[in-house]
Structure 1
Amino acid sequence: MSDYVTYEQDGGIVTLTLNAPERRNAISTFADCDAVVAAVQRINRDRGVRAVILTGAGSAFCAGGDLKAMRDRKGIIEGSHADLRENYRRGVQAMAAALYDCDAPTIAAVNGPAIGLGLDVACMCDIRIASDNARFAESFIKVGIVPGDGGAWLLQRIVGMSMACELSFTGDQIDAATAKEIRLVSKVVPPEELMPAARALAGRIAANPPEMLRMTKRLIREGEHSRFGTLLELSAAYQALAHSTEDHREAVTAMLEKRTPSFTGR
């Protein structure tokens, strides 16, 4: 795995850190994208992972794409029109699909600027919390490009069509308080409280049965585009699976016995 992502695990909680503070964690190479994909694949293979925190090293969460690489036509944006299209598919879009489809619940702990692609990376996570230092911008228009990583699909589902259009058409930067106001993030805390708050939230999630967490996330994801009847059918199938697990029996027994349950993932 590239040094761009660090992977730390504490019990059922994994913390992924975008680790290129010298470039404010900007994403510019296939190796950067591959590192995120590899980390997600590792999480998906480890059924013991119950929650994931994604944050950035240094003062930024992710400053988006690398402007110097754009200027010099290096890395992902190198080559002909046909090359660029394929590069996006292989690089940034492969990363976006992997992170969005991560089996385990994901929390973006936004410690600083999340700009352009960085904002969209935060939107690929299930939950976003931010420090007072966080800043957000869907700023592709400011550098003469479009949201090429799925942001046009993601942002409107989080903040609504009107606000998504305003952010995308202006490229305006907003602070953490405004991000909470428009429901881009669910909580804003002082910088020193960000990771403790993220770990506390991850702990509350991880206290639940791991397979049911993953199935619940999948139902929510499918609910974004399925007909109601289709989702009911999938829910019935998942519920049948859930009722047959040892963790379900443990949850019910523990609740009746008024004790803390112990889940094994079986």
Structure 2
Amino acid sequence: MHRELADIFVDINRDPETKVVVLTGAGDRIFCAGGEFSAMQESIENPQAAVVSMQEGIKLVHALLAVDKPTIARINGHAIGFGATLALFCDLTYAVDTAKIGDPHVLVGYAAGDGGALIWPQLIGYARAREFLLTGDSMRGAEAAAMGLVTRAVKADALDDTVNATAKRLAEGATVAINATKQAINMPLRRQFSALIEAHIGLELMSHFSNDHVEAVAAMLEKRAPVFSGT
């Protein structure tokens, strides 16, 4: 799915019949929970897998940002780590008010290098973004909307109506003007992403080889609190 998401965004961009993109998770509990701890353990044992995964992440966000049409994140549940990054890089973000949104990279011994350190400060400012990214704390959808991290938070039973109404309005609007405006808004963000993402991923990859990352993954798999050494 990691690889296929990048490809589908490229395909969508070439499809003249697609006017609006809605990105959401299956079910009603999770939008995207981020990395799996078993996969992290495999990457510790096979570092090349971590390199490939992070390269795929770059390609995926590049493809998302390159979509000319409006993108809507329908945040139907928890959006964590790279899952939050995917949602926040969409043009419009509608979240269930109880959904948990956070980037806990540091809690697993990782630098927030897959786009979180770029997009969070853009949306809520550096002071607030630093607190959440450096602690790994999460927030609920209602709080995220109040501080501007997401466009709007609604009750679960109102999510579909909210998303569908906006998608319909955009799809029936002046497509050329809407798409051009979306592209103009995203130009500075795309330039920053292109200029910085390799360095950000490099920092995350560096942290992949830290003892603290190994300890964090082991602790999660063993269901205990990690004991970090700072190395």
Same fold (TM over 0.5): yes
Q: 2:127 aligns with which of 155, 162, 178?
A: 162
1:171 counterpart = 2:111: no
Matches within 5 A, 1:1-266: 32-58=1-27, 59-73=29-43, 79-80=46-47, 84-89=50-55, 91-224=56-189
**TM-score, reference length from structure 2:** 0.76
Q: Offset at 1:98? A: 0.8
**For 1:119-166, what per-residue CA distance to the aligned partner results, in whole angstroms no more than 9, with x for missing partners?**
111111011111123111111001110123111111111111111111
Q: Is the 8 A contact 1:40 1:102 kept in 2?
A: yes
Q: Offset at 1:197? A: 0.9
Structure 1 Cα separation of the partners of residues 175 and 42 of structure 2:
45
Q: Is the 8 A contact 2:84 2:103 kept in 1?
A: yes
- 1:248 is matched with none
Structure 2 Cα separation of the partners of residues 84 and 188 of structure 1:
34
Q: Offset at 1:52? A: 1.1
Q: Secondary structure at the match of 1:61?
A: strand
**For 1:2-52, what per-residue CA distance to the aligned partner results, in whole angstroms no more than 9, with x for missing partners?**
xxxxxxxxxxxxxxxxxxxxxxxxxxxxxx222111221121011232211
Q: Offset at 1:84? A: 3.5
Q: Secondary structure at the match of 1:108?
A: strand
Q: Is the 8 A contact 2:88 2:150 kept in 1?
A: no
Structure 2 Cα separation of the partners of residues 47 and 154 of structure 1:
29
Q: Is the 8 A contact 1:50 1:213 kept in 2?
A: no
**Higher helix proportion, which one?**
2
Q: Offset at 1:223? A: 4.1
**For 1:70-93, what per-residue CA distance to the aligned partner results, in whole angstroms no more than 9, with x for missing partners?**
1232xxx7633x66335412x111
Structure 1 residues 111 and 46, CA gap change in structure 2 (3 angstroms): same
Percent of residue pairs bearing the same amino acid type:
34
Q: 216-225 or 202-211: which moved more?
A: 216-225
Structure 1 residues 86 and 47, CA gap change in structure 2 (3 angstroms): same
Q: Is the 8 A contact 2:65 2:190 kept in 1?
A: no
Q: Is the 8 A contact 1:49 1:210 kept in 2?
A: no
RMSD: 1.8
Q: Is the 8 A contact 1:47 1:210 kept in 2?
A: no
- 1:26 is matched with none
Structure 1 Cα separation of the partners of residues 135 and 76 of structure 2:
23
Structure 1 residues 143 and 131, CA gap change in structure 2 (3 angstroms): same
Give the count of matched residue pairs.
190
Q: Offset at 1:213? A: 2.1
Structure 1 Cα separation of the partners of residues 42 and 46 of structure 2:
11
Structure 1 residues 83 and 110, CA gap change in structure 2 (3 angstroms): closer
Max radius of gyration: which structure? 1
Structure 1 Cα separation of the partners of residues 162 and 96 of structure 2:
10
**TM-score, reference length from structure 1:** 0.67
Structure 2 Cα separation of the partners of residues 83 and 62 of structure 1:
20
Q: Which has the higher contact order (CA 8 A, sep 6+)?
A: 2
Structure 1 residues 190 and 87, CA gap change in structure 2 (3 angstroms): closer
